[in-house]
Structure 1
């Protein structure tokens, strides 16, 4: 006997209905990726700054809401309820948004970190577990093909036993002076989490001690105690030493490199240039700068994250970054800040 299903049922199975909260840089990136994914139905943009969000909602022809409560109430009248939210707002706003979404039985994707403290991170995961909803934190290096290749090279034994790793994070373009003085007060807390998560994942090991030093590149930043360059030394339990260097000022393009050195070789992630041209003349070989910034370098990875979120919403696929990952990354970053302030090694 043939069973016929309604169009709405088929659509419900094929597409996850998702809201985006936040219309800043990451909100634009996430909205573009969601809109272009055939398994996701973009159901609206949420932002208290209506004027800022208006152009984004018009570009993707999706409703605009001033609050998550308004968006949930508006969509509750439709035959197809919401499945999830993508939170792309500043970290201090994550807690209230995650709790509100969980209480409305919506699964959550949030930008890193889940929260500013390891304790609150655990608490928010518990809230979501109690409501039986997913809490998915975005660490896009795990979804980038080059970083995935390095993971498999290291974990297949291709370089033998990992002995050391060197990671470089060079931001581009240099953030505005206003951002540095008011919003991005410390490069360790703002930028190190992605690489800390990635190297933990690659080594399948935990950090046991952290030493960090930071510097300010000019007098004004120094007077305001703003660190825009830093180096972290991470010691892992099985003996691997990892150096992570962070800078706000890579004026030649977005510089993201990773090398893992082992007893049998080395695995490397290199940068990607703006294009593949090269000029050769009597003064030398001239190549383009590296890609402009993170939206270009990780565009495919951001899209893969949203596709993986669709897997979680539609098929129940477990999110690869778990609670313990988010908590441990935050503990390492907190330890690095403490080390930077005290000039002492911090043991975890």
Structure 2
């Protein structure tokens, strides 16, 4: 019998609960600990799924990290807690899976990776879209060479519903909280080092202006290989969670459209009606989150090389920082490391 990978989950918000359910469904993983602020919620999950799991508040996180049955941790807590939890976990020789952004800045992110390397443990930044079957198939086709060189990458990413303003106040800004997924995706597809970045944004919701954030942004990135990426990212879409990708290459164009809530297409004398997109990122990317977990388990067990590298994570973080700089200066800025 193959031994299961023991996991501790830090954070039990909407995303944390989603990861917990995937761990429960995986025959290869065992949920040893839930660490979260609301212990009642954790105990409710434990009872609902009849789990042999220990639940503690963050001030007792050391108990989970001292447990020798814990092979890896999944950090799904607020962004401001990531860096400390990553360092504590690595110091206890645990493999680490962490939602983006790993930390608030490039230097602290680099320091976390350096610590992981010194401890000989993997650190995975959870860019889940890389594990979506459609996006991964597109990536593999481009890398096969059959498409010819990439010319243009266009990514559209718009939230639904509009996130609570209280969340946005502490999110770190749209570029590090939301656009960073697209910055990682277009760079992954382009397969080249960025040269320059231009960003424009606007706060349609006046509350965001209080903390100098935007809810609609456009980013243009040029790359050394001549390709150009255009990102259209927003906090709001009136018809659902909008996720599309288009890649123009020398020999063909590849595109990925929205995933509808069902497969019903209604046609009549007034035209054709397609189903609306899914309501949120969890419904849009269920396969991606499951695949991402299985990849992490493979990495922990030494069966697979980590798919999101230190350099790629830092590059996405740096692009996000330069987007802020471009908006502030109202001009194109060079990519610098």
TM-score by length of 2: 0.93
Distance 2:76 2:252 in 1: 39
- Whether contact under 8 Å (2:298, 2:304) holds in the other structure is yes
Of 154-163 and 230-239, more deviation after overlay is shown by 154-163
What are the within-5 Å matches in structure 2 for residues 225-236 of structure 1? 225-236=212-223
TM-score by length of 1: 0.90
Which residue of structure 1 aligns with residue 37 of structure 2? 48
Distance 2:145 2:75 in 1: 37
Which residue of structure 1 aligns with residue 134 of structure 2? 146
Structure 1 residue 51 displacement after superposition:
3.3
Distance 1:220 1:21 in 2: 30
2:324 to 328, 332, 337: 337
1:95 to 78, 83, 87: 83
Which residue of structure 1 aligns with residue 196 of structure 2? 209
Which residue of structure 2 aligns with residue 118 of structure 1? 106
Gap change, CA 1:220 and 1:101, over 3 Å in 2: closer
- Whether contact under 8 Å (1:47, 1:53) holds in the other structure is yes
> In structure 2, the residue corresponding to 1:230 is in which secondary structure?
strand
Distance 1:184 1:257 in 2: 23
Gap change, CA 1:89 and 1:109, over 3 Å in 2: same
Which residue of structure 2 aligns with residue 63 of structure 1? 54
Alignment gaps of 5+ in structure 2:
none
- Whether contact under 8 Å (1:15, 1:314) holds in the other structure is no
- Whether contact under 8 Å (1:169, 1:255) holds in the other structure is yes
- Whether contact under 8 Å (1:20, 1:88) holds in the other structure is yes
Gap change, CA 1:296 and 1:122, over 3 Å in 2: same
Which residue of structure 1 aligns with residue 123 of structure 2? 135
Moved over 4 A (4+): none
Which residue of structure 2 aligns with residue 305 of structure 1? 292
- The number of equivalent residue pairs is 331
Q: For residues 163-216 of structure 1, what are the alpha-carbon distances to aligned partners after superposition, in whole Å with 9 as ceiling and x for unaligned?
A: 111111111111123333x23463222111112112222221111110001001
Q: For residues 95-147 of structure 1, what are the alpha-carbon distances to aligned partners after superposition, in whole Å with 9 as ceiling and x for unaligned?
A: 11011111111111111122121111111111122122111111111111100
Alignment gaps of 5+ in structure 1:
1-9
Structure 1 residue 284 displacement after superposition:
3.1
**Greater C-alpha radius of gyration:** 1
Distance 1:344 1:117 in 2: 22
Distance 2:212 2:118 in 1: 41
**RMSD of the alignment, in Å?**
1.7
1:237 to 224, 231, 251: 224
